Amino acid sequence: MNPNNEEDKNINKTFEIQKELLPVYELIMKAAVKSNSFSPLQYKQSSFIEVPLKEEFKRDWVSYEAECKREKFMFFKILKHSVEYLNLEYKYKGNGRPSAFIDDIIKSLCIRFYSNYSSWRCNSELEITRSMGVIENVYKRSTLNKYLQSRIITKKLHKLYKLIADPIAPIETHFSADATGFGQAYGNKRWIEVRDEPKQWRYYRKLHIIS
């Protein structure tokens, strides 16, 4: 190696820089072994640009646990007061069998889907809510399924979720979007089990959710 050669001088300079940074590399490797989430930018070096650490989200677990314990009771309370606030009209002309009480139909459908029960299994849940005074009548599954396809119910549900969401609209600033699917026939597999099977998609409906 010729010390007067310009190329050799650059090589020597590179070796000197690497030698100076060797302790830094060792520090990075040790930290990387301890934690998979280690980022070299966390270490402040005079030759590095300082990068501020991200603020970690902290949850109040005591309050979170307390609210989880009474979540269903709060749901029943909000549902009851919200539906009654809409003051839905009950129209009966006096001829033939009276139609179902629309308030109870909407409450029953919301309770069924909140509980994630099928129309066969939700009857006991509706009996419990009737004993609590949330609904007045427990209708048969055939009646609930009939009203589930009603356009009138769809319009009332739109008014209901807007009414419930309105108070928290000013304070909600962050949203997450997701997609899911649900079967169109009883006994279909869950969407998560068939989402990678395109041939099965025609038996499901896709739904985009923002929460």
Lowest mean pLDDT among 125-134, 170-179, 184-193: 184-193
Confidence of residue 32 (pLDDT cuts 50, 70, 90): low
Please give the Cα distance from 146 to 211 (Å, whole number): 29
Please give the torsion angle defined by the CA atoms of residues 7, 9, 12 and 18, in that order, rounded to the nearest 10 degrees: -80
How many CB atoms are located within 10 Å of the residue 119 CB? 16
Lowest mean pLDDT among 21-25, 37-41, 84-88: 37-41
Q: Mean pLDDT for the chain?
A: 77
Q: Which tokens belong to 111?
A: 């309770």
Confidence of residue 139 (pLDDT cuts 50, 70, 90): very high
Q: Which tokens belong to 64?
A: 């979170």
Q: Which of 187, 186, 188 is nearest to 200 (CA)?
A: 188
> Would you state the pLDDT for residue 204?
81
Q: Which carries the bigger pLDDT value, residue 81 or residue 53?
A: 81
Per the listing, tokens 């066969």 go with: 120
> Would you state the pLDDT for residue 111?
94
Q: Which tokens belong to 112?
A: 């069924």
